[in-house]
Amino acid sequence: MKIPFLTLRRHIELNVYTFHAGLDFRFLDRCERSSYMKNPDNSAKSKKIFNRKDISISTCYGLIELQKRSLALKAWQDFEFTMKDGIMHSECMDPDLLWWTDGHTPQTNGFSERHGITVVKLDSPYHVECTEDIDFVMTPSPFGHQCVSFVGGITNYKYQHATSMFAYFKRSENGRWLFNAGDDMVNITPMSDRPLKVNHHLDKDYHAILGQKHAPLSVTSSFLKRRKADQEKNK
C-alpha cells in the first residue's frame, strides 16, 4: 500500500526575476495548453474502432508531455528582424527590452561561413534561479510560426541565470520575421519528470545581481568551472 504524501513528486522550484514593471510574467511561465491542442471528444474516447480522422496533435504523446513538463518563453514585446543583403536589422516597441547581437557568427569554427548563416543571440529580460543542480533543455517551441531556426541546448539555472536564445538566419535570403507579444519562441524543459513550480518576482536589484553572476569566470568553460567548484565544495 502506497502512502500518498510519500509518493508525491517534489516540485522543482524556479524563481523568475525581471527588472521592468511593464513586463508580463506570462511570457516566461509554465506552458499553457495550446488552443491547437483541443481536448479529445469523449465520444471519440469510447470508440473501439480505430479511426484515422481522430488523430491530431491533440493526441500526440510527445507534444502533450513536452507542454505539460516545460516552461514557455514567449515574445515579451512586439519586435521584428529583417535580413537585407546579408545584414541583420531589428525594430521593436521598446529598444531597452531587446538585446541581441550577431557577434557569435564568426565563433562557429567555419560552420556559419560554409552555410551562409548569421547567428543571432537574443537575450530575454528574464533571469531564472534554481537551488538544485538540474539541467534544462531549451528547444524551439512546436507552436512558433515564424520559421526561425532556434538552436537547442542545455542550461542549468543553479550556475547561470540568463534565458538567452540563439537562432540561425540565412544571409542569402532577404526576409522579415515578425514576433508579436505572446508568440511562442522556445520551450525550457527539465531533465527530470518532477513537476515545475514557478515564482515570479519584480526585483531590479536582484535581477542585476543574477546578471553579474553569469559573467564569464574565464574565456572558456565558465559554466563547467562553476559546477565543478560547487561539487568539490559539497563533497
Query: Residue 234: what pLDDT?
Result: 73
Condensed to tens digits (0 to 9), the pLDDT of residues 131-161 reads 999 999 999 999 999 999 999 999 999 999 9
**In the block, residue with C-alpha cell 491542442:** 37
- CATH topology for 10-38+55-233? Deoxyuridine 5'-Triphosphate Nucleotidohydrolase; Chain A (2.70.40)
Is the per-residue pLDDT at 66 higher than 70?
yes
Is the per-residue pLDDT at 105 higher than 90?
yes
pLDDT, average across residues 22-41: 84
pLDDT, average across residues 194-214: 93
